[in-house]
Structure 1
Amino acid sequence: MGSTIDSQHVEDQGHVVLFPFMSKGHTIPLLHLSRLFLSRRLRVTIFTTPANRPFINQSLADTSASLISLPFPQSISPEIPSGVESTDKLPSIDLFFPFALTTGHMQPDFERALQTLPRVSFMVSDAFLWWTLDSADKLGFPRFVFYGFNNYAMAVSKVVAENRLLHGPESDDELITVTRFPWIKITRKDFHEALTKDDHDQPSQASEFHMKAAVATNRSFGMIVNSFYELEPVFTDYWNSECEPKAWCVGPLCQVAQDEPHDDHQDKPIWIEWLDEKLEKGSWVLYVAFGTQAELSAEQLQEIAKGLENSNINFLWVIRSKGSEETAAWDINGFEERVKGRGMVVKEWVDQRRILMHESVKGFVSHCGWNSVLESICAGVPILAWPMMAEQPLNARMVVEEIKVGLRVETCDGSVKGFVKSEGLEKMVKELMEGEKGEEVRKKVKEFADLANKAVKEGGSSWLTLQSLIDEMRQH
């Protein structure tokens, strides 16, 4: 990446190394963070792998950040096809843990590369790259761990684990009171199964990975959290008064993207043109997307289609390209024809933040990945929460029950991750877009959008936290 205006700021103010995990949802926030570091006059070096390099190169082409590629380990795990270097290319998300554990074999190359760099002040690496802590310790600089989570999910998970709350109830759907935060009720289904059962005799790859990441996190200098204090003061205060390492809230990192201009006269995506048309007619649009990792059955996709069709709501539905085999099992072409003009189906990567910021978009059916939640909050768009995996059920509880910026889909059996029938989806889509409850959460999310904007401006809580972190590292 070339010499640009950013390079004028890179004086001897410090040098930060960033190492994102090989997944776009983990990478993009750290690329935003790199811009913040550059704007504060730090030198930035980012580590990645050859297949992930083009995306990062393109994202930071206008900056002075340096980029180093390390070879991704091949033939370590027989389940992972050769050439796969990111989670979105995995044949199945079930291969996530073998993939994540394989990254540990990058450590020798990483340490050799670090030794060739100018003195490193500190490092920010993804929590999933637990082994980078050992490298930082060997070479004598602090490591901050980046979790793509919020403090709510971390605090609730910690209390649940310490008090072994998941080992009491007989039913996976039984409500459990979180002792430290008694107004919060959770179920076993809110957590990954690796955390809900004892497997000391034969540890799974999942529990091995979680243990490695947790131990490395506890030994790290601090945690970079993509959140802002005003969104979750109770949980941020709890963490920083009773837990370690310290959490530094420097988000929402997606706000950095506000300063990245779009040339609307050149190559305007068809989905933006479609949204523009809806805006001209004064029509509201529901955005539907479930991230790059969720795997939906053909049966579930068909129910979504039926619910959207029957709702008579305008919608933009993004179906990930990896789902082409599943989508082939139902007549998507017939569906698209029937909803033509009112609904649009997109099967390619989209700039989600740009969609959410569009004035016509007034609701978001989301899996509640934390990046998506923050983007929706920053855009002032209320959420219809449909969690599917990882910490998403906890994010959904935060969205619906804690900060009240969204509603929840109705599942057949009322459980957290149950099947959603078309009637249940249609009902809640209408409530979000046209009902009283929808209006309430729409008002609330706009309040948080304003607070998010203030947090990242000069003098705001996240701006000050980032400056405090940098000042502390300069004295370290």
Structure 2
Amino acid sequence: MSSCPHFFVMPYPILGHMNPLLQFSHVLATHGCKITFLITEFNQKRMKSETDHLGEHIKFVTLPDGLDPEDDRSDQPKVILSLRSTMPSKLHKLIQDINALGCDNKITCIVVSKNIGWALEVGHELGIKGAFLWPASATTLASFESIPRLIDEGIIDCQTGLPTRRQEIQLLPNSPMMDTANLPWCSLGKNFFLHMVEDTQSLKLGEWWLCNTTCDLEPGALAMSPRLLPIGPLMQTDTNKSWFWKEDSTCLYWLDQHPPQSVVYVSFGSLALMDPNQFKELALGLDLLNRPFLWVVRPNIDNNNNKETSDSYPHEFHGSKGKIIGWAPQKKILNHPSIACFVTHCGWNSIIEGVCGGIPFLCWPFFSDQFLNKSYICDVWKVGVGLEKDENGLISKGEIRKKVEQLVGNEDIKARSLKLKELTVDNSAEGGPSSKNLEKFINWAKDYNGYGDLF
């Protein structure tokens, strides 16, 4: 076997999965590994030339996702079903074609994200070992692993995954209490729950479960299995490009004009949709702040299916103290000295970036694992506060103003944020735990030949 491992990296085709797997690929490439990175033909058209800067060690290949051009790719159950039904045979042939190019080109290991555990089955059929990079928190993975136990204990229904009654449970020692109504699959429907049960079984073919986290962030979850290998924070790489939307870098110059810890940064990631009434309430809440704000308003975030959102702002909204952009160079923003706090949907990638910036969080979760992530921020790490809905189910403009002022003025939260930053970033430094784990993984890929009982 070649001393230079060849990894075939295959993310589920949404930004929250593609980014961490690309970041991981970049890290592997800096260690001399060869990378073949699979993207869908649809995403290749969206990306255009954004991959050109990634260097010769990362080669991109494509396969069709099985959907028609006009299909709605924000419909995740449809995407999951299409990939599962159309892609395995194509993936099998693609890997065979790559391996046929010569001994030095043979794939050493397949690395996938969740929702495509079947790809590890394809690798297994071809005699190629596999690993799994989990793009959310290790605790969320623990929740999926706990599904059989939760069913046996009568906590959730075996067909729908919904709680038999609402209660608070603790999945693991040293993890936050969790409202059963906020289990990661509850907001995504029966079909998604059944898919995740099947997918989690397939993912057990991955001999390592890599996580973009650290032992300091999630000690209880990482003790769950010897397969789990924390390699975070992955965001400490030079990969800083957006895949799908053009970043507005003018905001960095705008931030330069503001005093330290003065600007409220607002962003809800790549998938979250907001009710038009809630969107207007947020706009008015930002207007009420007696401080500047930087607000990322992604096309269609207001759930109106419009290409532009300018008609969605309330007439009384001025925005004179703020700057509104379509997409942001988020890592650079969260490391800018002028940022005071981060109003976030609590997606794991954003949390890792915020933690590494030492930024306090104002939590606004929408679905899935985001409620659990909020619990870590507010109840375990204590580096943020949550927003509460009113009797109409909206987060009011007054609540937004009150919580921003409460958060920005809290020196204890800021001090804990800076301490958590130090603990987290040190993990990926040379000689740190995550750095050693990464070296362990690469050496395994070099030396381990065939399937065996690692555990």
Tell me the TM-score normalized by structure 2.
0.85
For the residues of structure 2 that align with 1:100 and 1:28, how far apart are their CA atoms? 18
Cα 1:454/1:301, change in 2 over 3 Å: same
Helix, strand or coil for the counterpart of 1:467? helix
For 1:13, which of 1, 4, 10 is the aligned residue?
4
Q: Which residue of 1 aligns with 2:452?
A: none
For 2:367, which of 384, 389, 402 is the aligned residue?
389
Q: CA RMSD in A?
A: 2.8
Query: Which one is further off, 175-184 or 140-149?
Result: 175-184
For 1:429, which of 404, 412, 418 is the aligned residue?
404
Query: Which one is further off, 419-428 or 386-395?
Result: 419-428
For the residues of structure 2 that align with 1:239 and 1:213, how far apart are their CA atoms? 18
Once the two structures are superposed, the pairs formed by residues 315-334 of structure 1 within 5 Å of their partners are: 315-323=293-301, 326=304, 327=309, 330-332=312-314, 334=316
Cα 1:158/1:134, change in 2 over 3 Å: closer
Query: Which one is further off, 122-131 or 206-215?
Result: 206-215
The letter of the residue matching 2:62 is S
Matched, 1:190 2:182: yes
For the residues of structure 2 that align with 1:314 and 1:172, how far apart are their CA atoms? 45
Cα 1:209/1:292, change in 2 over 3 Å: same
Deviations, residues 189-233 of structure 1 (Å, cap 9, x unaligned): 312455899xxxxxx432332122111112321211111222222
The letter of the residue matching 1:449 is K
Deviations, residues 38-59 of structure 1 (Å, cap 9, x unaligned): 1212111111122323638524
For the residues of structure 1 that align with 2:118 and 2:49, how far apart are their CA atoms? 25
Matched, 1:68 2:61: yes
**Conserved? CA contact 1:152–1:398, under 8 Å:** no
Task: Give structure 1 stretches of 5+ with no counterpart.
Answer: 1-10, 76-81, 198-203, 241-245, 262-266
Q: Which residue of 2 aligns with 1:58?
A: 50
Deviations, residues 225-269 of structure 1 (Å, cap 9, x unaligned): 1112222223212333xxxxx111111111113x869xxxxx982
Give 1:359 shift.
1.1
Q: Which residue of 2 aligns with 1:461?
A: 433
Matched, 1:473 2:452: no
Matched, 1:400 2:378: yes
Cα 1:234/1:72, change in 2 over 3 Å: closer
For the residues of structure 2 that align with 1:397 and 1:462, how far apart are their CA atoms? 24
Matched, 1:128 2:115: yes
Cα 1:401/1:453, change in 2 over 3 Å: same
**Conserved? CA contact 2:264–2:292, under 8 Å:** yes
**Conserved? CA contact 1:313–1:430, under 8 Å:** no
The letter of the residue matching 2:109 is F
Give 1:148 shift.
0.9
For the residues of structure 2 that align with 1:273 and 1:427, how far apart are their CA atoms? 28
Cα 1:191/1:413, change in 2 over 3 Å: farther
Matched, 1:110 2:128: no
Q: How many residues align?
A: 423
For the residues of structure 1 that align with 2:265 and 2:422, how far apart are their CA atoms? 21
**Conserved? CA contact 1:194–1:206, under 8 Å:** no
**Conserved? CA contact 2:110–2:120, under 8 Å:** no
Q: Which residue of 1 aligns with 2:79?
A: 99
The letter of the residue matching 1:137 is H
For the residues of structure 2 that align with 1:175 and 1:60, how far apart are their CA atoms? 50
Cα 1:196/1:132, change in 2 over 3 Å: closer
For the residues of structure 2 that align with 1:111 and 1:57, how far apart are their CA atoms? 27
Q: Which residue of 1 aligns with 2:453?
A: none
Matched, 1:137 2:116: no
Give 1:289 shift.
0.9
Task: Give structure 2 stretches of 5+ with no counterpart.
Answer: 99-104, 242-246, 449-455
**Conserved? CA contact 1:172–1:189, under 8 Å:** no
Give 1:25 shift.
1.5
1 or 2, which has the higher helix percentage?
1
Q: Which residue of 2 aligns with 1:238?
A: 224
Q: Which residue of 2 aligns with 1:22?
A: 13
Deviations, residues 123-171 of structure 1 (Å, cap 9, x unaligned): 1111111220121011111111121111222334544651346449x99
Deviations, residues 308-358 of structure 1 (Å, cap 9, x unaligned): 2222122111111123663466435652xx231x11222x22211111111
Tell me the TM-score normalized by structure 1.
0.82
Cα 1:372/1:339, change in 2 over 3 Å: same
Give 1:407 shift.
1.1
Helix, strand or coil for the counterpart of 2:264? strand
Helix, strand or coil for the counterpart of 2:139? helix
Cα 1:272/1:106, change in 2 over 3 Å: same
Cα 1:196/1:13, change in 2 over 3 Å: closer
**Conserved? CA contact 1:283–1:314, under 8 Å:** no
Q: Which residue of 1 aligns with 2:322?
A: 343
Q: Which residue of 1 aligns with 2:195?
A: 209
**Conserved? CA contact 1:159–1:178, under 8 Å:** no
For the residues of structure 1 that align with 2:13 and 2:221, how far apart are their CA atoms? 28
Q: Which has the higher contact order (CA 8 A, sep 6+)?
A: 2
Helix, strand or coil for the counterpart of 1:101? helix
Helix, strand or coil for the counterpart of 2:235? helix
Cα 1:208/1:57, change in 2 over 3 Å: farther
Give 1:27 shift.
0.6
**Conserved? CA contact 1:229–1:236, under 8 Å:** yes
Cα 1:174/1:353, change in 2 over 3 Å: same
Q: Which residue of 1 aligns with 2:30?
A: 39
**Conserved? CA contact 2:175–2:220, under 8 Å:** no
**Conserved? CA contact 2:342–2:354, under 8 Å:** yes
**Conserved? CA contact 1:21–1:126, under 8 Å:** yes
**Conserved? CA contact 1:363–1:383, under 8 Å:** yes
Q: Which residue of 2 aligns with 1:8?
A: none
**Conserved? CA contact 1:19–1:46, under 8 Å:** yes
Deviations, residues 36-94 of structure 1 (Å, cap 9, x unaligned): 1112121111111223236385245241111111122135xxxxxx255xxxx63xx4x
For the residues of structure 2 that align with 1:196 and 1:63, how far apart are their CA atoms? 38
